[in-house]
Structure 1
Amino acid sequence: MSVFSRRTVVYMILVAVLVLMLSPFGWLAITALKDASELRALPIHWWPHEPTLGNFEQALTLFDYLGYARNSLTIATLYAVLVTLASAWAGYGFARLEAPGKKAVFGVLLSTMMLPGVITLIPTYLMFAKLHLVNTYMPWVLWGLSGAPYLIFLFRQFFTNMPKELEEAAIVDGCGQVRIFWRIFLPQSWPVMATSFILSFSWTWGDYIAPALLLDDARTTLAVKLAIGYTNEHGAQLSNLVAAGAVMYVVPVLVLFLIMQRGFISGISTSGLK
């Protein structure tokens, strides 16, 4: 098989995989263009007879869509910024500082990634309830300040690969560890910071369980409201409006990824070199 033929086969496989992965979103977008009567009609038609954008208008006005989107944006941005900085600081400590038991602590940290989050739901709620933090955004602040094990791992791998001469030169100039981190290491780690921000923003933006558990209806996020907000007078779900709301719900994450994709790809690739 020639190089051209082999490349053609690879491209065909990649296109097929791409179509397969995008097909759920495509079906969601098509559903968002359908009238409610078409969703109940049999047989099912792939393409709507009369596509309409009115579903998007109804999805925005049936409840305060933009208000709940603002709640989601506030929580996701707050958490993403805090967890990125906290994870970077922890990763710097594991990569560049020496302390007894550092490897053991790092091993314990990595082992927490295997702990299912559902196990900690009830203890988490009870803890925040006793601290009177339910129906506030403080849980996301505390989670952000605690860092995330996977992000700490990414930063640790990146900082480990940085030349020691940078650190030694800064020490000779009289810099302490905090100043070295803020002035030298953190500015150099923008690919991992972009990766961390995208991942943590996506986690929080798409999270349903934590907001449903900790926030009331006025403070909850768009993810929760999308699941319960589109119903008719009989309590039946309006699937076309759910689809329209979900399509708009995905847009901020896509825009964020398109803006920061170069740093995201670079951060993922360079963090595993050592």
Structure 2
Amino acid sequence: MHVNRQHSGPAAVTQVRVRNLRLSVGATYVLLMALAVLFVGPFVWLLLAALKTRDEWAAVPTRILPQHAQWGNFVHALTDINFPAYAANSFFLSTIYAVLITASSATVGFGFARLRGRGKGGLFLVLLSTMMLPQILTLLPTYVLFSRVGLVNTYWPWVLWGLAASPYLVFLFRQFFAAIPRELEDAAIIDGCGWARIFLRIFLPLSRPVLLTSFLLSFTWTWGDYIAPALLLDVDHTTLSVAITAWYRDPHGNAIPTVQAAAAALYVLPALLIFLFAQRYFIRSVVASGVKG
């Protein structure tokens, strides 16, 4: 009996560990499913709202499913306003801003990661501290500044913001560049490469996941922004986010929420598709940015 206990002891412990591991994995999947439902829920609600009539929208208690799907709401969303023109404005503005801020943030991040200089650490802390400053606090002073130099109702504010880099994206690039082995840099210096060539020929090609993530984040920031376009742009130059909230009206001037919901669903679709196709690069860059501090 004593021998049997010795042999059954480790096996019993192993079974307990396997059972606990399965329970842990099961609980993780349940949690992930709950979070997926939580995040997908608003988009599903938006789609259902876009398929309702105005009476079903205003009904109390609210009906979850429409009685008859109103696909015509999507047709009105595309035709009641100049939807393609406003979408083109949003796409142009988001692309210009994303390209510029990705390039400037990568350059600044490379400097903080690889170049040596007195006070670099303190300056980097100052840069990171600006992330705690809400953007809404600087928006009105920025508007006053742009209005005095004649940049209101133009896209130049987004160009200047893009050239100024983003603290978060600078941190992302800095962490990624700091994890690259120094031997590559030393070998390039021995071959006669300058810092600009090292940055363009070695570090940028290696940072494709971070470049894509930076472009993705900055594009969606601008695509989803409402306050800055509403404050700085006129009717002809404004973006789709402002147009959706302002110009879907009935003859009495009342908002048409079902058509607005249909337009919002179409408005969200490009950003959603971009995330679906680029999520693996996004995850890779986030993991790589935490390798080295």
Quick one: distance in 1 between partners of 2:172 and 2:159?
Answer: 21
Identify which range, 31-40 or 86-95, moves more after superposition: 31-40
Match of 1:32 among 41, 45, 50: 50
Q: What is the CA-CA distance between 1:125 and the residue it aligns to?
A: 0.8
Q: Paired residue for 1:16?
A: 34
Quick one: distance in 2 between partners of 1:157 and 1:40?
Answer: 50
TM-score (structure 1 length as normaliser) = 0.97
Considering only aligned residues, what root-mean-square deviation do their CA atoms show, in Å?
1.2
* Matched residue SS, 1:231: coil
Deviation readout 1:80-132 (Å, 9 max, x if unpaired): 01100100000000000011111111111111101111111121011111221
TM-score (structure 2 length as normaliser) = 0.91
Q: What is the CA-CA distance between 1:21 and the residue it aligns to?
A: 1.9
Match of 2:81 among 51, 59, 63: 63
Structure 1 runs of 4+ with >3 Å offset:
3-6
Q: Paired residue for 1:244?
A: 262
Matches within 5 A, 1:47-126: 47-126=65-144
Q: Paired residue for 2:183?
A: 165
Percent of aligned pairs with the same amino acid: 53
* Matched residue SS, 2:81: coil
Quick one: distance in 2 between partners of 1:20 and 1:168?
Answer: 49
Q: Paired residue for 1:42?
A: 60
Q: Which runs of 5+ in 1 are unaligned?
A: none
Q: Paired residue for 2:229?
A: 211
Q: Paired residue for 1:193?
A: 211
* Matched residue SS, 1:266: helix
Q: Paired residue for 1:176?
A: 194
Quick one: distance in 2 between partners of 1:267 and 1:84?
Answer: 14
Quick one: distance in 1 between partners of 2:61 and 2:150?
Answer: 53
Larger Rg: 2
Deviation readout 1:153-175 (Å, 9 max, x if unpaired): 00000000100011111111111
Quick one: distance in 2 between partners of 1:8 and 1:163?
Answer: 39
Within the alignment, does 1:266 sit opposite 2:266 as a pair?
A: no
Q: Which runs of 5+ in 2 are unaligned?
A: 1-15
Q: What is the CA-CA distance between 1:43 and the residue it aligns to?
A: 3.2
Q: What is the CA-CA distance between 1:75 and the residue it aligns to?
A: 0.5
